Amino acid sequence: MTPIDDNNYVETKIKRITLCPNTTMTSLTHHPSLHHHRTCSSLPAPISRRSSTSKTPNYLTTHTSPNQKRNRSRFNCSIANNAPITPPISNDLKSQPLLDCVVVGAGISGLCIAQALATKHAGVCSDVVVTEARDRVGGNILTVERDGYLWEEGPNSFQPSDPMLTMVVDSGLKDDLVLGDPTAPRFVLWGGDLKPVPSSPADLPFFDLLSFPGKLRAGFGALGFRPSPPDHEESIEEFVRRNLGDEVFERLIEPFCSGVYAGDPSKLSMKAAFGKVWNLEKKGGSIIGGAIKAIQAKNNSPKPPRDPRLPKPKGQTVGSFRKGQAMLPNAISERLGSKVKLSWKLISISKSENSGYSLTYETPNGFASLQTKTIVMTVPSYVASDLLRPLSLEAAEALSKFYYPPVAAVSVSYPKEAIRADRLIDGELKGFGQLHPRSQGVETLGTIYSSSLFPNRAPPGRVLLLNYIGGATNPGILSKTEGQLVEAVDRDLRKMLINSKAGDPLTLGVKVWPRAIPQFLIGHFDILDAAKFALSEGGFRGMFLGGNYVSGVALGRCVESAYDVAADVSSFLSRGVYK
């Protein structure tokens, strides 16, 4: 297999650094299923981080074997230079029978589309194949378990919506589902303090993140006492400042945008990124007016009875699995069995003479081709753009316009005693985590209290924190070494969560996603429509675009949309229009 390259899809290498957290020495060993990961097998002696004046922390430069030194000199955030070695490619072109559907990409979108096709639409789509360039499924979903720790290097949790829970149950994971405590607080850093955010409208009057005038402004604005909407498509910042006031924007929504999109709210489109709220004002004349109309509409057309197999989450919570997010793609892949082809990188698409498409792949055994009636592209838009360029310049140009900023997931652990006393509730760190508005002088976007949120994430006496850093407002993280990223996170955490005198953290993983999350910027839907229109005008019937830049970035949106895409494919096949 050719390494997944910069032009198409990239995954930076990961270094596992082990540090001696003052008292214990933890050895982290190589995880066989994750060949992009590096391991440091020997440990440096305990090192005081404050004795280090160099930009690279001591632990990166001491006690290294010559081999490690060689490796460490490359431990900046460069592109997968330890990716798998290019396999020998034979000229053996293998023809396949005409498939009903090929799904390209085995991230959560592609797998859920394939699962829905293979189960709910098996009557019309019995021959479905999922092809994936990497040697693992899951795409952005990446869970690592080692030495008593279980951490996420991509998404950390999902909203347990009904479509998501349906996928969980259909994948046989009902008993593995874990849900966060809905009463656990979420915090926003403001004025040097971590302030709880309201978890329901009933909390609104009592929380102190907003001032009294700020709450009044938000309340009157939500009722409709605010400037009318402008003629142009509004950014999130414009919409929220206009409807709810400056404080709601600066203290709640701006950090929330970092949490969901790692994005810049002055550029993200309200309509594209938070369409449900945007629609409330549009349909009801104000946010509250729209909410009332939505409730009335719901009451007038009650939903069909809820699937009794689905678990009933309590309150506002988030979900994961006993062994982390990767359980879902792995379970779906297991169910799909030989329908999933790993290390199959799509390199070209052509229209077949008779019907459908001919797809050419690089595989570990050389080139291979598939013939299919329909194709669903769930690869990132920049990959789809490259693949479609020879077929439709207009579609390729449109798809090349979406921006994916870099994000790093930095997982660190501290002993419980390192948490500041004023942050403990009944002696424990409790809560989902914290978000950091850009105005508050910290670089880290937010921190998830992984070991508080879900069970069995860290050994007893240890706290596991997942930190996201980078995003649209800080693409410069790509020029930082992994050591510098850990230092930045640790420095930030000592401002509000960790005792300033605590020892160095144990660094578990630094995963840099050079192109992490598609930004739903102003004009997003116009660009997407232009791509779809170009494909339709070009006569590319049976070609469907999917993936997070189409559906929305949250895992729940990817799953929900997967059911819709599968229904579209099924309807297309049942009409026989590919002939």
The footprint of ligand FAD (CB under 6 A) covers 8-9, 104-110, 131-134, 139-141, 154-158, 345-346, 378-380, 383, 407, 409, 513, 516-517, 547-548, 553-555, 558
CB atoms within 10 A of CB 389: 14
Smallest separation (angstroms) from ligand FAD to the CB of 384:
9
Of 464, 414, 412, 466, the closest CA to residue 22 belongs to: 414
What are the residues facing 507 on neighbouring strands?
412
Smallest separation (angstroms) from ligand FAD to the CB of 256:
13
Half-sphere exposure of residue 150: CA atoms within 13 angstroms, side-chain side: 17
Smallest separation (angstroms) from ligand FAD to the CB of 315:
18
Using the minimum distance from each CB to ligand FAD, give the nearer residue, 222 or 332.
Answer: 332
**What are the φ/ψ torsions at residue 236 (nearest 5 degrees)?**
-60, -40
Smallest separation (angstroms) from ligand FAD to the CB of 208:
27
What are the residues facing 371 on neighbouring strands?
98, 358
Smallest separation (angstroms) from ligand FAD to the CB of 216:
33
Spatial contact of 549 and 380, defined as CB atoms under 8 Å apart: yes
Using the minimum distance from each CB to ligand FAD, give the nearer residue, 161 or 456.
Answer: 161
Distances (CA, A) of 197 to 208, 224, 555, 571: 8, 23, 23, 44
Using the minimum distance from each CB to ligand FAD, give the nearer residue, 154 or 263.
Answer: 154
Using the minimum distance from each CB to ligand FAD, give the nearer residue, 59 or 361.
Answer: 361
Using the minimum distance from each CB to ligand FAD, give the nearer residue, 133 or 340.
Answer: 133
- State the DSSP code for 481: B
Smallest separation (angstroms) from ligand FAD to the CB of 218:
26
Left if phi > 0, otherwise alpha if psi is -120 to 50, otherwise beta: which for 576?
Answer: left
- Block residue for tokens 């349906």: 166
In the chain, the N- to C-terminal Cα span, in Å, equals 33
Of 38, 41, 39, the closest CA to residue 80 belongs to: 38
**Residue type present at position 541:** R
Cβ neighbors of 165 (< 8 A, separation 6 or more) are: 177, 310, 311, 313
Cβ neighbors of 132 (< 8 A, separation 6 or more) are: 105, 106, 110, 340, 341, 342, 343, 344
Using the minimum distance from each CB to ligand FAD, give the nearer residue, 235 or 467.
Answer: 467
Smallest separation (angstroms) from ligand FAD to the CB of 519:
12
Smallest separation (angstroms) from ligand FAD to the CB of 11:
8
| Cα(440)–Cα(462) distance, integer angstroms | 27
Smallest separation (angstroms) from ligand FAD to the CB of 398:
18
Using the minimum distance from each CB to ligand FAD, give the nearer residue, 129 or 287.
Answer: 129
Smallest separation (angstroms) from ligand FAD to the CB of 530:
20
Using the minimum distance from each CB to ligand FAD, give the nearer residue, 344 or 540.
Answer: 344
CA 344 centroid distance within chain:
23
Using the minimum distance from each CB to ligand FAD, give the nearer residue, 408 or 535.
Answer: 408
Using the minimum distance from each CB to ligand FAD, give the nearer residue, 379 or 498.
Answer: 379
Query: What are the respective helix, strand and coil percentages of the chain, to the nearest 5?
Result: 35, 20, 45
